[in-house]
């Protein structure tokens, strides 16, 4: 089973903490029929959720031909499995297996617990303090990419690169919620391959900010953007306003799974002149819509004149790809890091009957240079991979490469480290 459709949801919702809730225990007393009634309720909800997902794809997906997929055949294959699911994990496995047929990284269904974590991402809440991503081979494992400072996970010694394995139905999975003070049993494997089972107790922590400005380096400001969330364009303009022209700007979009298209347009307006065409999109109707920059950006009177680098990696997706692509094509920024994910269709979300969330692509996207980034991604000007060992030890080759390149005259920046073929 390929869980790549949950990458966006998990990368954001788990970034600030794992979640867990024990399944309610329904003790059936002699002579009662409690369990069969609950089973019928589960099956009824499974049916509502599956039928909603199937019909929304058929009516609203940006490609009326559904990429050649026989959607009726898909229904016959996956509906029985979805209706027979005994929990959210089984239901959403079936839904995402069906959506995988579209070969579209934006087509995915997030279980209710994941949707709730997304909704509470910037709120004070109970958490463990890990960010992880599903293994790309579709197995039941997850790789830890970040450990939040001061969290119970950090105190337990969990490190970047460890894996969470799910081997039995009774083990914790990301489809479950979190409750303050309720222990979470995790089956972990460290970097040496040694199994490290742990039981951790979530505690309430303040949220991590979506946008952070780092001015600790002389002559450089690093603007770290976790997601294209409401207020990003205004925040970006405020950070750039009054910045000396000789100060270099690094916009860090690594691990950024995208977000609002309007915020991407606002960010581009911070660096490009007004009314500059940077892309086109084509929805289900086939009508081409031209996308261009607006006038102004937060507290900034006009486009910033500073030299700019944008950091990207394989988990930069959607708006975090189209933004560096537009700046790269306009020769306005140096793109540094690793090739992006190639998940750039324009999508929208819809709430499902059980509280889960369906994400579907509603429009295709082509850059102003005629490039379709979907399945291709953005190739950086300077290639600077960051390994798990780099993360563990705090090294940041991409940031170092970007700062060094920006220190050169603009004409020499793109030649600082030639991009290697992928």
Token digits of residue 29 = 């007393």
Question: Looking at per-residue confidence, does 170 or 90 come out higher?
Answer: 90
- The conformation of residue 162, written as its DSSP 8-state character, comes to -
**Confidence (pLDDT) at 418:** 42
Chain position carrying tokens 């009957």? 353
**Confidence (pLDDT) at 20:** 28
The answer on pLDDT for 27 being more than 70 is no
The answer on pLDDT for 263 being more than 70 is yes
**Confidence (pLDDT) at 190:** 92
**111 neighbors 356 (Cβ within 8 angstroms):** yes
- Beta-carbon contacts of 383 under 8 Å, excluding residues fewer than 6 positions away, are 337, 338, 417, 419, 420
What DSSP string describes 76-114?
HHHHHHHHT-SSHHHHHHHHHHHHGGG--TT-EEE-HHH
Which band of pLDDT confidence, cut at 50, 70 and 90, is reported for residue 96? very high
Question: How large is the greatest C-alpha to C-alpha distance in the chain, in angstroms?
Answer: 83
**Confidence (pLDDT) at 7:** 38
Query: Of 136, 128, 165, which is closest to residue 2 (Cα–Cα)?
Result: 136
**Confidence (pLDDT) at 153:** 94
Task: Tell me the C-alpha to C-alpha distance, in Å, between residue 414 and each of 246, 336, 410, 419.
Answer: 18, 10, 8, 9
Identify which of 167-171, 204-208, 417-421 has the greatest average pLDDT: 204-208
Calculate the dihedral angle through the C-alpha atoms of 393, 397, 399, 405, rounding to the nearest 10 degrees: 150
The answer on pLDDT for 61 being more than 90 is yes
Determine the 3-state secondary structure of 131 from DSSP: strand
- For the beta sheet containing 188-189, the strands, ordered from the edge strand earlier in sequence to the opposite edge, are 130-134, 141-147, 163-165, 188-189
pLDDT in tens, 284-306: 988 999 999 987 787 777 899 99
Token digits of residue 57 = 């794809």
Could you tell me whether strands 163-165 and 289-292 are parallel, antiparallel, or unpaired per DSSP bridges? unpaired
Q: How many residues does the chain have?
A: 422
**Confidence (pLDDT) at 137:** 62
The answer on pLDDT for 6 being more than 90 is no
Element (H, E) at 280: strand 277-283
pLDDT in tens, 220-234: 999 999 999 999 999
What DSSP string describes 351-380?
E-TTS-EEEEEEEEEEETTS---TTT-PPP
- Give me the domains of the chain, ranges plus CATH numbers: 4-21+34-114 (3.30.750), 124-205 (2.30.42.10), 211-413 (3.90.226.10)
d(CA 341, CA 351): 25
Angle between helices 71-83 and 34-60 (to 10 degrees): 160
Mean pLDDT of 74-84: 96
pLDDT in tens, 374-402: 999 999 999 999 887 887 788 999 999 99
Mean pLDDT of the chain: 84
Radius of gyration of the chain (CA): 23
Mean pLDDT of 171-185: 80
**Confidence (pLDDT) at 85:** 93
**Confidence (pLDDT) at 376:** 92
pTM over 0.85: no
**Confidence (pLDDT) at 294:** 85
Mean pLDDT of 5-15: 39
**Confidence (pLDDT) at 208:** 84
Share of the chain above pLDDT 90, in %: 58
**Confidence (pLDDT) at 169:** 65
The answer on pLDDT for 23 being more than 50 is no
d(CA 254, CA 338): 9
Mean pLDDT of 410-419: 50
Which band of pLDDT confidence, cut at 50, 70 and 90, is reported for residue 414? low
**Confidence (pLDDT) at 178:** 73
**Confidence (pLDDT) at 138:** 59
Token digits of residue 165 = 């394995």
The answer on pLDDT for 26 being more than 50 is no
Mean pLDDT of 241-256: 94
Question: Looking at per-residue confidence, does 347 or 26 come out higher?
Answer: 347
**91 neighbors 49 (Cβ within 8 angstroms):** yes
The answer on pLDDT for 37 being more than 60 is no
The answer on pLDDT for 59 being more than 50 is yes
Mean pLDDT of 320-345: 95
d(CA 241, CA 36): 63
pLDDT in tens, 103-155: 998 899 999 988 888 888 787 888 898 887 777 665 678 888 788 889 999 99
Determine the 3-state secondary structure of 68 from DSSP: helix
- What is the phi-psi region of residue 193: left when phi exceeds 0, alpha when psi lies from -120 to 50, beta otherwise? left
Q: Which of 60-74, 117-131, 188-202, 247-261 has the lowest mean pLDDT?
A: 117-131
Question: Looking at per-residue confidence, does 417 or 189 come out higher?
Answer: 189
The answer on pLDDT for 417 being more than 60 is no
Expressed in angstroms, the distance from the first to the final Cα of the chain is 26
Mean pLDDT of 237-261: 93
């Amino acid at each position: 089973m390929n869980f790549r459709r949950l990458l966006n949801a998990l990368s954001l919702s788990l970034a600030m903490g794992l979640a867990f809730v024990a399944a309610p225990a329904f003790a059936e007393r002699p002579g009662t029929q409690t369990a069969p009634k609950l089973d019928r309720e589960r099956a009824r909800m499974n049916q509502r959720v599956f039928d909603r997902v199937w019909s929304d794809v058929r009516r609203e997906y940006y490609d009326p031909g559904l990429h050649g997929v026989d959607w009726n055949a898909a229904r016959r294959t996956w509906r029985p499995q979805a209706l027979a699911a005994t929990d959210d994990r089984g239901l959403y496995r079936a839904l995402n297996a069906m959506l995988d047929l579209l070969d579209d990284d934006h087509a995915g269904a997030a279980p209710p617990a994941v949707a709730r974590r997304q909704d509470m991402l910037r709120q004070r809440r109970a958490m463990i303090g890990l960010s992880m991503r599903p293994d790309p081979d579709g197995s039941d494992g997850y790789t830890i990419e970040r450990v939040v400072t001061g969290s119970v996970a950090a105190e337990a010694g969990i490190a970047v690169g460890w894996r969470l394995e799910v081997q039995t139905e009774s083990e914790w999975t990301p489809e479950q919620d979190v409750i303050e003070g309720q222990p979470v049993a995790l089956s972990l494997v460290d970097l040496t391959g040694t199994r490290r089972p742990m039981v951790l107790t979530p505690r309430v922590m303040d949220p991590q900010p979506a946008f952070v400005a780092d001015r600790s380096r002389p002559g450089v400001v690093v603007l770290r953007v976790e997601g294209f969330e409401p207020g990003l364009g205004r925040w970006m303009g405020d950070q750039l306003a009054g910045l000396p022209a000789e100060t270099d700007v690094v916009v860090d979009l690594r691990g950024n799974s995208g977000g609002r298209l309007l915020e991407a347009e606002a960010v581009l307006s911070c660096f490009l002149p007004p009314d500059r065409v940077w892309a086109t999109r084509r929805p289900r109707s086939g009508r081409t819509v031209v996308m261009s920059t607006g006038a102004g950006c937060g507290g900034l009177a006009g486009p910033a004149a500073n030299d700019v680098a944008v950091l990207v990696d394989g988990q930069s997706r959607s708006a975090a790809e189209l933004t560096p692509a537009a700046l790269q094509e306009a020769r306005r920024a140096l793109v540094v890091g690793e090739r992006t994910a190639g998940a750039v269709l324009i999508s929208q979300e819809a709430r499902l009957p059980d509280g889960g969330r369906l994400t579907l692509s509603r429009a295709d996207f082509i850059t102003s240079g005629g490039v379709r980034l979907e399945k291709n991604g953005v190739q950086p000007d300077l290639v600077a991979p960051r390994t798990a060992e780099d993360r563990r030890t705090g090294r940041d080759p991409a940031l170092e490469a970007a700062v060094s390149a920006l220190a050169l005259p603009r004409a020499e920046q793109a030649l600082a480290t030639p991009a290697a073929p992928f």
